Amino acid sequence: MQTVRQIKQLRKAVAAFRARGGTVALVPTMGALHAGHMALIAEARKRADHVVASIFVNPKQFGPNEDLAAYPRRAAKDAAMLVEGGCDLLWLPEVETMYPEGFATSIAVSGLTADLDGAARPGHFDGVATVVAKLFNQVRPDIAVFGEKDYQQLAVIRRMVRDLDLGIEIVGVATQRDEDGLALSSRNAYLDDAQRAAARALPRALGDAATAIGAGEDAANAITRAWSALEKAGFGPIDYIELRDAETLMPVDDVTRPARLLAAARIGGTRLIDNLPIEPRPA
């Protein structure tokens, strides 16, 4: 696997892939890789001839009171995992490369970013859209692969690609989970043993609510039970538990087309997010 840190080197490496023929897939990450990320690499390998992964802890998507300084950085271990996963190229830029002096451009995707994590983390999705647009322009992939755990982020990126005619196929990969059901996340490392045990209540509560809603129960009642279950487990504050249309992320009361049940809540000082799909019942 090649590792490059400068845009000129990146363009040369990707051009060499193109010269050999075939397609290029990009897997953008912020590092601290785990099995969830490796599932994205595996999916990219299935869909493309050459796989590029990026590792960049993007300061523009962190708020002033968020964990930018504490976010885990372990490039050597991550690179070893990517080699084992069959990645062809690691794009590992510095902040100064991504945001040189005088950088003044931001991309905002309205509507989809108005609430949920957009409300809880003002400016977050502008930072996501901006860095992903830059990565797309730098690598120029045919395919880009993202996890469904960050479902609102995935929806934002799909809308940006569609609106800007970027011509990149966006692939979502189902949330990868630990044996206890907790969604794999780099931030799980912040949980102590007691918090980790309590955190299992999040996928259980969402799963119970999704099952009930899918069976036709009133969504508000199912969500109220899920909220109570999280509070009982020690979560707080709970930012949201919401039933949304899977494409538009508009609120829905019942499931007449594919929907998502999304939640975000803190256990200790760690903010966890999760979501589950709900399909409409057959007519």
Catalytic residue numbers?
37
Task: Report how far residue 61's alpha carbon sits from residue 4's, in angstroms, rounded to the nearest whole number.
Answer: 23
- Does 237 sit behind a cis peptide bond, omega within 30 degrees of 0 on the bond before it? yes
Is the Cβ–Cβ distance between 273 and 263 less than 8 Å? yes
Q: Is 53 helix (H, G, I), strand (E, B) or coil?
A: strand
Of 104, 107, 12, the closest CA to residue 61 belongs to: 107
Say how far apart CA 101 and CA 119 lie, in whole Å: 29
Contact 263, 275 (CB under 8 A): yes
- Tell whether the torsion through CA atoms of 254, 260, 261 and 264 is positive or negative: negative
Distance CA 81, CA 75 (A): 10
Neighbours of 253 (CB within 10 A): 10
Name the DSSP class of 59. Answer: G
Q: What is the C-alpha to C-alpha distance for residues 129 and 135, in angstroms, rounded to an integer?
A: 10
The two tokens of residue 95 are 């902040």
Q: What are phi and psi of 150, to 5 degrees?
A: -90, 70
Query: Looking at the chain, which runs of residues are DSSP E strands?
Result: 2-4, 24-29, 50-55, 89-91, 143-147, 169-173, 238-245, 259-267, 270-278
